[in-house]
Amino acid sequence: MRKSIRRLKTKLPSTSLSIFSTTFTLVSCLCFPLVALAEEAEEITPNIIIFYIDDLGWQATPLNDVDKPTPYETPNLVKLAKSGMNFTQAYSPAPTCSPSRAAILTGQHPAKTRFTHVTLDNRKDAKKTERLIPPYLEGQLDRNHLTIADALKANGYRTGHSGKWHIGLSSASYGFDFVNEDRGIHRSVPDRTKGFATAEDPKHPLSKEKFPPFSEKKPEGISYPYDEVTESAIKFIAESGDQPFFLNLCHWMVHWPAMTRNGELLEYYCDKLGQPFPPKPGDMSLPGQQNPYFAAMVTSVDWSLGRVVDFLERTDDPRSPGKKLYETTYIFFSSDNGGATRHGKETLSDNSPLKYGKTHAEEGGVRVPMVIAGPTVPAGTQFDGMINQLDFFPTFLVLTDTEISAEDEAKLSGLDITPVLKGKSTQVLDQNGKEREFLFWHYPHGGKDSMKSAIRSKDFKLYKRYFTNDYELYRLYQDGQRNDFEETYDLAKNPKYSLIVDRLSGLLDQALVANHAELPYLNPNYAGKKKPVAKLGDASFKKSSRKAQLAIQPSGPMIREAVVIYCDAPSVGKKKNKRGSKDPVTAEFIPGMRLPAKVSKNGSSVSAVIPANIAGYCFMLIDENGFMQFSDVAAAK
Ligand SMILES: [Ca+2]
Ligand SMILES: [Ca+2]
């Protein structure tokens, strides 16, 4: 069922350099030796590393630190930015984990792949208090999509994944040769105030080598415990030998649980934040960025970045005599969504001055740190234009001279940013050489405060609120200067901005339609509903034809649309995805998939043929009044 990649003569359109005669306003300008180095470096196909952090907010590093300075230290990220480009207005494709990761892998907008949140294969009953319910998400990313790993592999790359996956099944099913989904050093402990790693720790021994932070107590620096995510990534790089490589390194930190096995690092932050060490058991409820466990996680992932960069800096590139791997490798550093602000009573971090955080399309939920360094990226530069991780896929294709079919190419949602990366353009340009007009987000999930779609175009950001069916508008910037990126002053009802509301809402609606975005449905359990909901009747399954059928009672509304969802047998319950499995799942049909079902002409019954290897099924039904419901899981036998 997997699509094979055809090597075609047609290449991705690479924009002609002549359009980039616009004024050059990057912070540091290119100087001649860099250009010479850049041209030389392009001779071999470069290695690509995505260094991806879970839940690292825009204000959680010193890079783009505004207003109150962050206490978290990330010396290796600061160093990476000095050798590459810092993107001050970088965005994740979604405000949560799975959709951002899937969007990078497929290059397609989460709205288009209908992979918009982490609630995979969730058919729980909705609350009585909510008028709307989210669409159903498949149990795993559709394996028919061409992934960037597939594309690079077909071009001779060795592909490796280390750490968190969270897209369903395992990375082995999506084009990765090397798979290690170990949690590394980030794993729950019974009591996080004690039991820190030691030099003799059997699984996570402390390093002999010392690293930052340096303090009066530890002027030589501190040790770090063994981290499998980092070490397996380095092993993958080392084993790649003569092959160019693509590494997808995804940390489980700085996500909950807020913990560290690094006692010295925790003590450093307790001292810095003026708190006792070890911290008292109980809630870490101080406001702002005062959680020493969270701080330790930020510095731990930064240490990991330092280990990988250090390895690249001291290892010869077997493909380029005289060069180190660091000179032939691009590193794309970013985070899957904005910072998580709380877990229960515990304060994790703080995205202020940005609004909200993870699970919200507001700036706090989608604006993330991003640094890109590599052979052609001018050192110490900054780009202030909008950029999205959806741009990674088309950019990788150009950087690595990888060709994909025209059909797959047409599906990509992002744009090639190599002209920006090379310091040759101050704008992200589309295939026609025009500046990208907007970015959008689609998050039909959560309650009334988060179920929104959003669009950012130049200075403005507009939100479409599904619960109230209206808009919010904020002016983040004015004449390039910070204006209201706190998103405090809603201008949507101000007549002065009505044209902007009209234009942006029109663009957003067009984008939602063009991407076949699935919108929220009416909740049949809602206590305040005003219309009736379809009543489900008899279900049947014919063994010989494997045809499943469900009748609808004539006393209520009929069915307008239906899909069938493949399940395990009703007696089995929900099976865990094969996390970390090194074997790709090759079955054509698997539980968690959803496919169109047949609706009878008058909507009084729905049916589907269930594949032989599928033991159970249910229907997702949308009735004439717009209510969505699931039928009970039935056995396909
Ligand atoms: Ca700050
Ligand atoms: Ca995340």
Which CATH number belongs to the domain containing residue 509 in this structure? 3.30.1120
Confidence band (pLDDT; 50, 70, 90) for 524?
Answer: very high
Cα separation, 136 vs 620, whole angstroms: 8
Confidence band (pLDDT; 50, 70, 90) for 573?
Answer: low
pLDDT over 70 at 19, yes or no: no
Which CATH number belongs to the domain containing residue 573 in this structure? 2.60.40
Mean pLDDT computed over every residue of the chain: 93
CA of 61 to the centre of ligand 1 (A): 8
Q: How much is the pLDDT for 578?
A: 61
How far out from the chain centre does Cα 296 lie? 22
Torsion angle of alpha carbons 126, 128, 134, 137, nearest 10°? 0
Identify the nearest ligand to the CA of 365 by its number: 2
Residues 458 and 573 in one domain: no
**Other CB atoms within 10 Å distance of the CB of residue 212:** 18
Q: How much is the pLDDT for 147?
A: 98
CA of 58 to the centre of ligand 1 (A): 9
pLDDT top residue among 593 and 15: 593
Packing angle between helix 292-314 and helix 263-272, nearest 10 degrees? Answer: 120
Confidence band (pLDDT; 50, 70, 90) for 575?
Answer: low
CA of 348 to the centre of ligand 2 (A): 13
Identify the nearest ligand to the CA of 337 by its number: 2
Q: What is the mean pLDDT of residues 206-235?
A: 98
Cα separation, 80 vs 78, whole angstroms: 5
CA of 69 to the centre of ligand 1 (A): 4
Q: What is the mean pLDDT of residues 572-582?
A: 67
CA of 85 to the centre of ligand 1 (A): 20
Cα separation, 27 vs 523, whole angstroms: 51
358 within 8 A of 342, measured Cβ to Cβ: no
Please give the single-letter amino acid code of residue 302. Answer: D
285 within 8 A of 291, measured Cβ to Cβ: no
CA of 185 to the centre of ligand 2 (A): 17
Q: How much is the pLDDT for 571?
A: 82
Cα separation, 178 vs 157, whole angstroms: 12
CA of 55 to the centre of ligand 2 (A): 4
Residues 491 and 628 in one domain: no
pLDDT top residue among 557 and 37: 557
Overall domain count for the chain: 3
CA of 68 to the centre of ligand 1 (A): 4
Which CATH number belongs to the domain containing residue 399 in this structure? 3.40.720.10
Residues 480 and 545 in one domain: no
Kindly list the strands in the beta sheet with 439-443, ordered across the sheet, starting from the edge strand earlier in the chain: 439-443, 452-457, 460-465, 470-475
Q: How much is the pLDDT for 218?
A: 98
Q: What is the mean pLDDT of residues 246-271?
A: 98
Range of the domain at 555: 536-635
Domain membership flag for residue 428? no
CA of 54 to the centre of ligand 2 (A): 4
Q: What is the mean pLDDT of residues 298-323?
A: 97
Nearest to 561 by CA among 618, 631, 624, 512: 624
CA of 340 to the centre of ligand 2 (A): 8
CA of 393 to the centre of ligand 2 (A): 20
Q: Measured in Å, how far apart are the chain's first and last C-alpha atoms? A: 25
Residues 463 and 540 in one domain: no
Identify the nearest ligand to the CA of 336 by its number: 2
Q: Which tens digits make up the pLDDT trace of 590-635?
A: 999 999 999 999 999 999 999 999 999 999 999 999 999 999 999 9
Report the alpha-carbon angle 99-100-105, nearest 5: 95
Q: What is the mean pLDDT of residues 300-306?
A: 98
CA of 177 to the centre of ligand 1 (A): 40
Domain membership flag for residue 549? yes
Identify the nearest ligand to the CA of 64 by its number: 1
Q: How much is the pLDDT for 582?
A: 84
Cα separation, 250 vs 247, whole angstroms: 9
How far out from the chain centre does Cα 402 lie? 23
176 within 8 A of 221, measured Cβ to Cβ: no
Identify the nearest ligand to the CA of 339 by its number: 2
Domain membership flag for residue 548? yes
pLDDT over 70 at 449, yes or no: yes
CA of 332 to the centre of ligand 1 (A): 23
CA of 78 to the centre of ligand 1 (A): 15
Domain membership flag for residue 101? yes
How far out from the chain centre does Cα 336 lie? 4
113 within 8 A of 106, measured Cβ to Cβ: yes
- Token pair of 407 as six digits: 């059909």
- Token pair of 10 as six digits: 């047609």
Coil/strand/helix, residue 162: strand
Please give the single-letter amino acid code of residue 172. Answer: A
- Token pair of 344 as six digits: 């229960």
Domain membership flag for residue 27? no
Cα separation, 381 vs 417, whole angstroms: 15
Q: How much is the pLDDT for 576?
A: 58
pLDDT over 80 at 8, yes or no: no
Cα separation, 513 vs 470, whole angstroms: 18
CA of 71 to the centre of ligand 1 (A): 9
Q: What is the mean pLDDT of residues 460-479?
A: 97
pLDDT over 60 at 16, yes or no: no
Q: How much is the pLDDT for 26?
A: 42
CA of 74 to the centre of ligand 1 (A): 14
CA of 97 to the centre of ligand 2 (A): 4
Residues 398 and 449 in one domain: no
Please give the single-letter amino acid code of residue 248. Answer: N
Percent of the chain scored above 90 by pLDDT? 89
pLDDT over 80 at 17, yes or no: no
Coil/strand/helix, residue 80: helix
Please give the single-letter amino acid code of residue 634. Answer: A
Residues 191 and 280 in one domain: yes
Cα separation, 377 vs 219, whole angstroms: 34
Identify the nearest ligand to the CA of 288 by its number: 1
CA of 260 to the centre of ligand 2 (A): 18
Q: What is the mean pLDDT of residues 421-435?
A: 96
Residues 481 and 602 in one domain: no
CA of 352 to the centre of ligand 1 (A): 7
CA of 511 to the centre of ligand 2 (A): 25
Choose the final residue of a domain: 520, 551, 574. Answer: 520
Identify the nearest ligand to the CA of 66 by its number: 1
Identify the nearest ligand to the CA of 70 by its number: 1
Domain membership flag for residue 14? no
Choose the final residue of a domain: 520, 555, 576. Answer: 520
Q: What is the mean pLDDT of residues 18-23?
A: 31
Q: How much is the pLDDT for 574?
A: 62
Q: How much is the pLDDT for 365?
A: 98
Please give the single-letter amino acid code of residue 203. Answer: K
Confidence band (pLDDT; 50, 70, 90) for 126?
Answer: confident
Residues 258 and 171 in one domain: yes
Identify the nearest ligand to the CA of 52 by its number: 2
How far out from the chain centre does Cα 94 lie? 6
Helix/strand number for the chain, H first, E second: 13, 28
CA of 347 to the centre of ligand 2 (A): 16
CA of 615 to the centre of ligand 1 (A): 53
Residues 416 and 446 in one domain: no
Q: How much is the pLDDT for 124?
A: 87
Query: Following DSSP, what letter does each residue of 23-68 receive, concatenated?
Result: ----SS---HHHHHHHHHHTTSPPEEEEEEESS--TTSSSTT--SS
Q: Which tens digits make up the pLDDT trace of 384-427?
A: 999 999 999 999 999 999 999 999 999 999 999 999 999 999 99
For residue 372, the surrounding DSSP H or E stretch is: strand 370-373
Residues 462 and 611 in one domain: no
pTM: 0.93
Report the alpha-carbon angle 10-15-16, nearest 5: 110
Residues 396 and 503 in one domain: no
pLDDT over 90 at 104, yes or no: yes
Coil/strand/helix, residue 163: strand
- Token pair of 455 as six digits: 């669009």
Choose the final residue of a domain: 488, 520, 552. Answer: 520
Residues 413 and 347 in one domain: yes
Q: What is the mean pLDDT of residues 114-132?
A: 93
pLDDT over 50 at 20, yes or no: no
Q: What is the mean pLDDT of residues 424-450?
A: 96
Q: How much is the pLDDT for 281?
A: 86
Identify the nearest ligand to the CA of 71 by its number: 1
Percent of the chain scored above 70 by pLDDT? 92
CA of 597 to the centre of ligand 2 (A): 33
CA of 478 to the centre of ligand 2 (A): 30
CA of 67 to the centre of ligand 1 (A): 5
Nearest to 383 by CA among 77, 60, 85, 33: 85
Domain membership flag for residue 127? no
Coil/strand/helix, residue 305: helix
Domain membership flag for residue 444? yes
CA of 272 to the centre of ligand 2 (A): 27
